[in-house]
């Protein structure tokens, strides 16, 4: 190839790259700033659905707080499944706990349980050893694995539309929902230590199944089916080569071996549980979710939370790892009559946050939040908060995957449950108080109020500078955080 041809190819490549960069900027970034969602339901329709009278199945709940309990309850539910298991998750992270949970899924499938698994399409094209689990699952006749919006190089509009749910459905009567992803940093506190993410789940047990009567568990299964059948949810793999089959079979044997070793040590935790005796009776449970689709969507979860907050008589408590009230979100806030002086927020501090981009977005809004009259507490670590919890008047509790930011409001699939129960709210608030005891209150001058019994988390100069610089950048794209 002569020099002229090489120069011509370089010129074509440079032009192509510039065109692609502009294309990505337009449809992965600018599009989400300009496109406005249309309301699909009115506030009156929301109220009619979420507060309507009518007989529903009686359901009971249990709070799952510690990382260890989070792992054990998942393994117990899977071990005792009799007919089917449906799982939807944002991300699986390679590690000890993930291997054991995957092994338990294989063990259930070997027993004849039908398993459907939906994972987010960008963050779960498994890397390393977990890649082989795709091949192993594809080999099993009782396991189906699908991806929500798989990554496509030429479709940048889909890069932001992620599935953020964390749901497990067992047979027709049990559901587990919360904010935990699957990985050691969410379950193994003693091992992960400073990398550990504090989170919580809620287990829902259908107490007295009534024919043709709705329940939160049924609503969650209907939602799962919507995502499963969504036109942009695709099978993980169409066919396997002989080499992939061999790798899949070998990895399945490894997972089953790890799970069998776990069963030997923790067998008592896998025995059938009488959930009727190990759950709380509640007044009602309602399941809420965001619309499914590409681009900005009508923020159903946000609108329900704002509706509940507008009804608060005494207090509104918010625990979220990320607090980023963007301009579009503030316009939603103005549609509701909310007394901001009733609001208390608990979120990560500069010391505890593992997410510099989110912290940069929060830094840009922190003064405005404090000035509004909201009481702000920041967790001091050394681990971090990952829980997404809202409590209204110590009576209504909301737990799920929804962060208080624009991504959770408009772009991601999100889901949560509203639990009406003073007893459950009291139990939940007691657990949150443990985090408040390791948090510092933000004063009106935006610094911490000193507390002799609490230690401010250490922040390196590098982290401070990095987040200060990021804050200047993300100011223009906070709608994607």
pLDDT tens for residues 222-264?
999 999 999 999 988 888 888 988 998 999 999 999 999 999 9
Distance CA 185, CA 47 (A): 38
- CATH fold of 284-480 reads Endonuclease; Chain A (3.30.870)
**pLDDT for 11:** 81
φ/ψ region of 417 (left if φ > 0, alpha if ψ in -120 to 50, else beta) reads beta
Unique residue bearing structure tokens 């709608």: 479
Q: Which helix (H) or strand (E) holds 396?
A: strand 396-400
- Mean pLDDT for 190-219 is 87
- Mean pLDDT for 56-74 is 93
Topology match between the domains 58-270 and 284-480: yes
Check: CB of residue 360 under 8 Å from CB of residue 292.
Answer: no
- Mean pLDDT for 363-390 is 96
Do the bridges between strand 389-392 and strand 384-385 make them parallel or antiparallel, or are there none, so unpaired? unpaired
Distance CA 128, CA 405 (A): 32
CA nearest to 419, candidates 113, 64, 63, 133: 63
Q: Is 477 exposed, middle or buried (0-12, 13-18, 19+ CB in 10 A)?
A: middle
Please state, for a pLDDT cut of 90, what percent of the chain lies above it: 73
38-42, 149-153, 291-295, 468-472: which range is least confident on average?
38-42
- pTM, entire model: 0.93
Indicate the average pLDDT of the chain: 91
Tokens for 314, please give them.
């005494």
Domain boundaries, the chain: 58-270, 284-480
Distance CA 430, CA 112 (A): 41
The answer, yes or no, to whether residue 130 has pLDDT greater than 60, is yes
**pLDDT for 37:** 87
- CATH fold of 58-270 reads Endonuclease; Chain A (3.30.870)
Angle 456-457-461 from CA coordinates, rounded to 5°: 115
**pLDDT for 447:** 95
Of 8-12, 40-44, 456-460, which one has max mean pLDDT?
456-460
The answer, yes or no, to whether residue 6 has pLDDT greater than 80, is no
The gap between the terminal CA atoms of the chain, to the nearest Å, is 47
Please state, for a pLDDT cut of 70, what percent of the chain lies above it: 93
**pLDDT for 10:** 78
The answer, yes or no, to whether residue 25 has pLDDT greater than 60, is yes
């Amino acid at each position: 190839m002569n020099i002229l041809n090489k120069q011509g190819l370089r010129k074509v490549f440079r032009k192509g790259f510039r065109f692609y960069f502009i294309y990505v900027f337009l449809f992965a970034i600018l599009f989400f700033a300009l496109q406005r969602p249309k309301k699909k339901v009115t506030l009156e329709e929301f109220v009619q659905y979420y507060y309507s009278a009518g007989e529903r199945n009686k359901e009971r709940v249990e709070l799952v707080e510690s990382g260890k309990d989070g792992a054990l309850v998942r393994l117990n539910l899977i071990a005792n499944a009799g007919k089917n298991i449906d799982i939807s998750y944002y991300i699986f992270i390679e590690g000890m706990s993930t291997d054991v949970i995957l092994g338990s899924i294989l063990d259930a499938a070997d027993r004849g349980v039908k398993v459907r698994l939906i994972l987010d399409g960008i963050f779960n094209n498994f890397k390393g050893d977990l890649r082989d689990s795709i091949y192993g699952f594809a080999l099993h006749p009782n396991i189906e694995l699908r991806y929500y919006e798989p990554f496509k190089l030429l479709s940048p509009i889909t890069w932001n539309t992620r599935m953020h749910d964390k749901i497990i459905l067992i047979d027709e009567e049990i559901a587990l929902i919360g904010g935990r992803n699957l990985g050691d940093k969410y379950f193994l506190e003693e091992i992960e230590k400073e990398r550990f993410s504090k989170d919580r789940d809620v287990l829902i047990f259908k107490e007295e199944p009534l024919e043709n009567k709705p329940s939160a568990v049924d609503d969650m299964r209907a939602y799962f089916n919507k995502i499963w059948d969504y036109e942009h949810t695709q099978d993980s793999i169409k066919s396997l080569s002989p080499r992939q089959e061999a790798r899949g079979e070998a990895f399945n044997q490894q997972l089953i071996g790890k799970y069998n070793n776990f069963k030997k040590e923790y067998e008592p935790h896998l025995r059938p549980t009488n959930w009727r005796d190990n759950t709380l009776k509640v007044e009602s449970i309602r399941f809420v979710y965001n619309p499914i689709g590409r681009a900005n969507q009508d923020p159903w979860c946000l609108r329900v939370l704002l509706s509940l907050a507008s009804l608060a008589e005494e207090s509104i408590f918010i625990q979220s790892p990320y607090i980023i009230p963007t301009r579009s979100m503030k316009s939603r806030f103005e549609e509701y009559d909310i007394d901001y002086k009733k609001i208390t927020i608990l979120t990560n501090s500069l010391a505890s946050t593992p997410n510099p981009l989110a912290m940069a977005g929060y830094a840009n809004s922190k003064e405005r939040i404090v000035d509004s009259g909201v009481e702000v507490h920041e967790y001091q670590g050394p681990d971090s908060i990952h829980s997404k919890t809202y409590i209204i008047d110590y009576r209504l509790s909301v737990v799920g995957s929804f962060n208080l930011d624009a991504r959770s409001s408009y772009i991601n699939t999100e889901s949560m449950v509203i639990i009406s129960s003073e007893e459950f709210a009291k139990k939940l608030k007691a657990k949150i108080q443990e985090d408040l005891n390791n948090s510092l209150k933000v004063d009106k001058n935006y610094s911490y109020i000193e507390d002799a019994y609490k230690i401010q988390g250490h922040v390196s100069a590098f982290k401070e500078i990095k987040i200060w610089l990021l804050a200047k950048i993300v100011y223009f794209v906070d709608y994607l955080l």
